[in-house]
Chains A and B, each alone.
Chain A
């Protein structure tokens, strides 16, 4: 059974139809590459799943149960985490402080509680080790490479044992060498049974890691097939409209 199921989702902004009648399914242990040109509806779809705004029409089922997200926190509580393109990290804090931001571990008694940095660093170290990333928990994010920052952002989603991770252009702003590191991170998330959505413009990345590919064009889903059954040429055609549907 699908972890997350979107049925006939539509979204209008005034007269503009950003999404129309889109069906979308996510399974655990699978990476879905979500592709499409600017304005095709990728971010609208992601924002609906992330709880930024509700769909105008259609329904969303999580583990078979209908869900309605009114704000991002609702989605997060339900087990859906988003890793944003700009990574949304606080440069002035350490890696572990970022991982635990707004879910800090504390020690003490009653209302007298202080931050338990030692425990948080230790837990963050484990998370980074799981991700096979050389990221030091007590180091400030400011000094980190793109790949390490990505690991911090992903470790955040790991901390909450999310079921679904939405990755918004994770390889857009980093060097070629670090791209491989990030794609490895995605594979590890999949191997741990998570459902991963990879939103990307970069054809090689999607064909490198995705198990399935979904293409949006002008708010419509024009393809949804196993990656083996497609090709970069076909996807390019679908994105630009040279191929109508596949």
Chain B
């Protein structure tokens, strides 16, 4: 309406200007487009999750003004969801294709141990990073080969990798913690543990990666094909989409993000343990689902992964601050997962 009132053609209805109607319809069209944009935005799960995050933050700031809205707490919250968020981005690619990757926690553990061992052997930091990322990507490649070319269900393949990668991590580490990082240890630790402008490096990395993933999902043919595979795999194949190659790539990418998270977390903590990442697959999958991914495939996005991970950490942090026994966290996160999917279902049925 505001737009219309500013349009002179509306004020002087009998204006003799050459295109009063053209202007008017154009303004209306603009408004219609704007409304359509708002409508899709309001209908989207990530929007409502963002609202939930903001409400929880506001309530907590009001209840706990001394401890919640502080610089330290902000630093902690953001850092604590950053590595989950990084993994959720890779997981999102897999879930959009209609698959699932249960092995990210174990792959993270293996990649962390590989980093630690390379550093312990006295090699340079970049070799450690490369080896860590390489070991993760290799796990993903194996997952992808079995899913895409052998045709096994992703649930089964990655469940196998969940057990196998953890086992490799334990064997390689000889079940010991690795903390003697050799000459390049300080540099390596600074990557994951450092901060720029008061924000953890991990958070910066998450933001950059979220931007890149969001761009690739939305604006590249590859991104579109990922959605097509999840929407209707048979149709995508008939249309000429390289379905098998896309699948191989998303599983590799997903494991790679787990390895990136491992590099950052091992550097932050200054040590590598073979239990790193145990149970994280559930937090990562929960992040994507809460953000609005559909486990049947075809729906989701980079921001959804980011905001889903944020909500889980904000809930966790709020419960801690509110003095609720930390053992209750699981119940709350679990309730939110089911609630998120329920909301999606209700909105979905209304749209139909």
Contact = CB atoms under 8 A, between A and B. Distances in A.
Given A101-B241, A115-B224, A90 B236 contact: yes
A92 B152 CA distance: 24
A79 interface: no
Interface magnitude class on chain B: 20 to 34
A7 B269 CA distance: 73
Interface string B210-248: 000000000111001101101110111011110000000
Contacts of A92: 227, 230-231, 298-299
A240 interface: no
A114 B231 contact: no
A93 B224 contact: yes
B221 A88 contact: no
A104 interface: yes
Contacts of A104: 221, 224
A115 B235 contact: no
B239 A88 contact: yes
A73 B239 CA distance: 9
Query: Is chain B's interface secondary structure helix, strand, loop, or mixed overall?
Result: helix
Contact of A101 (B230, B236, B351): B236
A4 to B, nearest CB: 20
A84 B232 contact: no
Contacts of A89: 232, 235
A75 B91 CA distance: 36
Contacts of B232: 88-91
Nearest to A50: B238
A74 B236 CA distance: 17
Contact of A88 (B220, B230, B235): B235
A102 interface: yes
Given A72-B238, A101-B241, A102-B236, A90 B228 contact: yes
Interface string A118-146: 00000000000000000000000001000
A186 interface: no
A140 to B, nearest CB: 10
Interface in A68-89: 72-73, 76, 82, 84, 87-89
B299 A115 contact: no
Contacts of A93: 224, 227-228, 231
B238 A115 contact: no
Contact of B298 (A82, A84, A88, A90): A90
11 contacts: A76-B240, A90-B227, A90-B231, A90-B298, A92-B230, A92-B231, A93-B227, A101-B236, A101-B241, A102-B241, A103-B240
The 4 closest A-B pairs by CB, nearest first: A90-B231, A92-B298, A102-B240, A88-B235
